Amino acid sequence: MADRVPQSSGLSALRGRISFIDLVQSLGLMAIILLGGLIMTAMSPVFATVRNIENVLQSATIIAVVAIGQTFVILVAGIDLSVASVLVLSSVLAVGLVQFQGLSPEIAIILALCAGLGIGLVNGLAVTKLRIPPLIATLATMTIGRGMAYIYSGGTNIAPVPRIFIDLQASRFLGVPGVIVLTLVLAALAQIVLSRTQFGRSVYATGGNPLAARLAGIKTERVIIAAFMISGLMSAIAGLLITARFEAGAATAAQGLELAVIAAVVIGGVSLFGGEGNIGSMLLGVLLLGLVQNAVNLLNVPPNWDSVVSGLVIAAAAALDVYRRSYLEAGMRKKIIAKAARSTPKTS
Amino acid sequence: MSVAEVISVAEDLRPVLIAKGITKSFPGVLALDNVDFNVRAGEVTALLGENGAGKSTLIKMMAGFYAPDRGEITVDGVVLSPDPSSAHRVGVATIHQDAHLVPAMSAAENIMLGRWPTRYGWLNKRLQKERAARALARVAPHLNPSTPAGRLSSADQQLVEIARAISEDSKVLIMDEPTTSLSPPEIDRLFNVVEDLKSKGMSIVFVSHWLEEVFRIADRVTVLRDGRLIGTRPISELDHDKVIRMMVGREVRDTILTKRPVGDVVLKVSKLTRENVLENISFEVRAGEIVGMSGLVGAGRSELAAAIFGIDPYDSGSVEIGGIAVSPNDPKAAIEAGVGLVPEDRRQQALVGLMSVKSNITLSLLDRISSFGFLSMAKEQAIADREIRALAVKTPSSKTRVSTLSGGNQQKVVLARWLARKPKLLILDEPTKGIDVGAKSEISELILRLAEGGMAILLISSELPEILTLTDRVLVMRSGRISASLPKEQATAETIMSFATTG
Ligand SMILES: Nc1ncnc2c1ncn2[C@@H]1O[C@H](COP(=O)(O)OP(=O)(O)OP(=O)(O)O)[C@@H](O)[C@H]1O
Ligand SMILES: [Mg+2]
């Protein structure tokens, strides 16, 4: 039997390089981001200031937190359009429950998060038990969620916000704004869950091949429901962040945010077909999108043109990424042949 | 214009397709290394080799799916460019190992796929039907051209693909493991079609892990091993052992049966019934026992496995493992009760293509390799390495994506998953489908070793030799019923076939 084990000659040396590809892949987005940053530094004196960078990162936190949840849903081959509605609902609840119902801010925040979990649960049940396609199910909760936020808030933003939000926005850890730290902590947690836990592995398996996952003993329906609940929870947390940022229960904010989030997640290498992607490179997608937005603002692109410009940059980034990947593979291939030619003696 | 008119039989034996110095690598694997291969008019060439030898890769190259890194393929002097439509243009038609028709389209539409006849830019349905029917009549007169392809059996789907090759006036027809999911009569029919095409001057290339088939139909044999060409010989110069030696470079032992003690009842199926599928099925399998399950394709064997494993619900009856009833329609409960299943269709039912070999091996072990929900990466790696070694899975690394493995090695990964879990009852549905000769005997030995270790084994197989050498008892199924339970002494090819067809 020993002679049937994979021939080890040139191959063992290549082993390490397989995961190296993943690394270079995220470096690719990183490179685009750095290049964009350099160009921006040259074109705008404001860009490379601490204040502007902090601003870019801070506004990216909201998309990032929502995108973390969305990543779970897309990994199980679903999609969640209700995220922006959950976000505003959570925002108006967190402020409104204090102002209108007189609850303590802590209770209000907990209830706001529960609302997110609840809508996630409804999405999950609709998709698994009623077998409504995720696009339709979450389109429905998206409309309903936004409507409820309007009804509750009376269609306007609610202010002032409890002290706790002001403090959150002002907080700093080691000089870094608290909301950025919070986002990074959530991202790290999500990455650990995805790569190191039984649940995370089940997420990838369910998205990659639901039937095979089920036959391997994974309760795929529960996994899908959990993914939607995580997305709901994350959107609700993002709702708290936006409350802190705008200092208001923001009923009218985040219009079209769900599409920006989905774009960021996909640019970050998460496959819309499910089963593929990770939080780290996904965050780079968010960052790229944030950068484009910032560039559009700083360079005074006429308001009517900014979405056109963003769209073009997104398409260019995606194309560049595809090109780089195939270029990389071709290079690897040449190396393997050269190596094999050197190291394997010809047999019969 | 028919194939016969295009290719004159007089020109016999000139090479039609010449592949020269073909080299192809994938990340971490040199799949083909300077391979020469040619196909001659009016001949059947068998392409042989162990799992992962590079057969499918060579075929995909001839079909224009992959570009060779080095080397060139010419068809009648025309260089093939790496593009499937170019392959079709020069006359190479291919039926891939994991091939597929468009399920929702009719047989006729599939035959004309991409070449739908039009008139003034509109689809001409009548002309399409006519042409498709003409091609179909030659290989499968029993098929209705308007049946959706998804509703045809896999044998008939293959015939539809062959009809497509004929309607294109292809010179070369390549089939990658065409017989793996066919029953013996279907194989006969396929081979009759092959003989007919060959006599009309078409060249045929086929891959099979069943040497009986090779000796029945091939004129020449080309053997690959680890991506290198070992040789091409006329079949008349070869015998069974010589072919195996070329393929594996050593002798393959025959499996020797030993007497095993049989223990307690592990699986007890009572009066299992599912309308129109299974009828009043009762039987037992004891620890250490290997029970074979024979029958024609469609007799309900896989459906029975699906019911026991909790994939499909059933109407009445019960399934007990070790005396405890397992709840129906819940694979997780079945796994926890100690059942393992190697399903027939590994791609659909067992593997997560995007995940690594390692993660696929441990997919049904997640509970065992984690504590408080956290996976132990070290444990996972150790289990994966052990099983990859035990089954000699040919993969560049345990982190390689499972979908890039050759067909036979993917099957080994599914086996490895269950070996690692060590269930009380292992159901194997066509476990050696697509597995090479050397590995087949290794898997046979493995099954015996598992039984010796006290595992109960239910072996579903269409390969009578496999059933006859390995099992202690044979259950024969026919139209959803068990038509016979034969002890080893009474189980012969004749008795099994007679109960399978008229029990
Ligand atoms: N797309 C791919 N990416 C990476 N590696 C691949 C890819 N396709 C094939 N390989 C590798 O190339 C080698 C040859 O594979 P191939 O499918 O040609 O084998 P095969 O002879 O058809 O085997 P089998 O009898 O099991 O079908 C294998 O080691 C396989 O892992
Ligand atoms: Mg193959």
Per-residue pLDDT of B173-196, as tens digits, reads 999 988 877 777 888 888 998 999
Give the SS3 label for residue A319.
helix
Please identify which residue in the block is written with the tokens 């939080």.
Answer: A279
Q: How confident is the model at residue B205 (pLDDT cuts 50, 70, 90)?
A: very high
Domains of chain A: 17-343 (1.10.3470)
Condensed to tens digits (0 to 9), the pLDDT of residues A328-341 reads: 566 656 665 666 55
DSSP-derived secondary structure for B237-248: G--HHHHHHHHH
Of the ligands numbered here, which is closest to the C-alpha atom of A6?
1
Name the DSSP class of A268: T
Nearest CA-CA distance, residue A137 and chain B, Å: 26
Q: Please state the rounded mean pLDDT for residues B56-72.
A: 92
8 Å CB contact between B47 and B231: no
Find, in chain A, the residue whose alpha carbon is nearest to that of B442: A1
pLDDT in the model for residue A70: 98
pLDDT in the model for residue B416: 93
Interval between CA B88 and ligand 2 midpoint (Å): 21
d(CA B298, CA B235): 34
Find, in chain A, the residue whose alpha carbon is nearest to that of B312: A215
8 Å CB contact between A279 and A190: yes
Measure CA of the first residue to CA of the last residue in chain B; give whole Å: 48
Give the SS3 label for residue B30.
strand
Q: How confident is the model at residue A345 (pLDDT cuts 50, 70, 90)?
A: very low
pLDDT in the model for residue B104: 81
Give the SS3 label for residue B183.
coil
Q: How confident is the model at residue A184 (pLDDT cuts 50, 70, 90)?
A: very high
Q: How far is CA B160 from the centre of its chain?
A: 18
pLDDT in the model for residue B286: 94
8 Å CB contact between A208 and B353: yes
Condensed to tens digits (0 to 9), the pLDDT of residues B248-264 reads: 776 666 656 666 778 89
Q: Which of B424, B309, B399 is nearest to A211 (CA)?
A: B309
Q: Is the CB of residue B378 less than 8 Å away from at least one CB of chain A?
A: no
Name the DSSP class of B68: -
- Domain B262-338+425-503 sits in CATH at 3.40.50.300
Name the DSSP class of A251: T
Interface test with A, best of B22, B247, B352, B441 (most A CBs within 10 A): B352
Find, in chain A, the residue whose alpha carbon is nearest to that of B340: A216
Q: Is the pLDDT of residue B58 over 60?
A: yes
Interval between CA B434 and ligand 2 midpoint (Å): 8
Question: Cβ(B433) to ligand 1 under 6 A?
Answer: no
Q: Is the pLDDT of residue A286 over 60?
A: yes
Name the DSSP class of B51: T
Structural Rg of chain A based on CA atoms: 23
pLDDT in the model for residue B3: 45
d(CA A286, CA A257): 12
pLDDT in the model for residue A17: 42
Q: Is the pLDDT of residue A9 over 60?
A: no
d(CA A279, CA A227): 14
Nearest CA-CA distance, residue A316 and chain B, Å: 26
Phi-psi region of A156 (alpha: psi -120 to 50; beta: other; left: phi over 0): beta
Q: Is the pLDDT of residue B6 over 80?
A: no
Residues of A in contact with B335 (CB under 8 A): 216-217
pLDDT in the model for residue A293: 86
Between chain A and chain B, how many beta carbons pairs sit less than 8 Å apart? 140
pLDDT in the model for residue A13: 37
Mean pLDDT of chain A: 86
The DSSP element (H or E) to which B418 belongs, if any, is helix B407-421
Residue span(s) of chain B under CATH 3.40.50.300 come to 12-91+173-248, 262-338+425-503
Q: Is the pLDDT of residue B198 over 70?
A: yes
d(CA B373, CA A199): 7
Q: Is the pLDDT of residue A2 over 50?
A: no
Nearest CA to ligand 1 atom 18: B54
Bridge pairing between strands B278-286 and B425-429: unpaired
d(CA B25, CA B396): 12
Per-position b or e across B204-216, b if 16+ CB within 10 A of its CB = bbbbbbbbebbeb
Tokens coding B392:
């000699």
Nearest CA to ligand 1 atom 7: B404
Give the SS3 label for residue B444.
helix
Question: Which residue among A6, A215, A333 sits closest to B25, beta carbon to beta carbon?
Answer: A333
pLDDT in the model for residue A3: 35
Name the DSSP class of B255: P
The DSSP element (H or E) to which B178 belongs, if any, is none
Interval between CA B435 and ligand 2 midpoint (Å): 10
0.85 surpassed by complex ipTM: no
Interval between CA A320 and ligand 1 midpoint (Å): 29
What residues are paired with B92 via a beta bridge?
A: B172
Q: Which of A189, A203, A231, A230 is nearest to B366 (CA)?
A: A203
Compute CA distances A277 → A79, A195, A200, A202, A266, whole Å: 14, 11, 12, 14, 9
Mean pLDDT of chain B: 87
d(CA A236, CA A99): 19
pLDDT in the model for residue B157: 86
- The class (CATH top level) of B12-91+173-248 is alpha beta
Nearest CA-CA distance, residue A313 and chain B, Å: 29
DSSP-derived secondary structure for B299-339: SSHHHHHHHHTTSS--SEEEEEETTEEPPTT-HHHHHHHTE
Nearest CA-CA distance, residue B348 and chain A, Å: 7
pLDDT in the model for residue A343: 52
Task: Please state which of the ranges A247-256, B41-50, B126-135 shows the lowest mean pLDDT.
Answer: B126-135
Condensed to tens digits (0 to 9), the pLDDT of residues B90-113 reads: 899 988 876 678 878 888 888 887
Condensed to tens digits (0 to 9), the pLDDT of residues A187-225 reads: 999 999 999 999 999 999 999 999 999 999 999 999 999
Q: How confident is the model at residue A15 (pLDDT cuts 50, 70, 90)?
A: very low
pLDDT in the model for residue A203: 97
pLDDT in the model for residue A62: 95
Q: Please state the rounded mean pLDDT for residues B409-432.
A: 92
> By percentage, how much of chain B surpasses pLDDT 70?
94
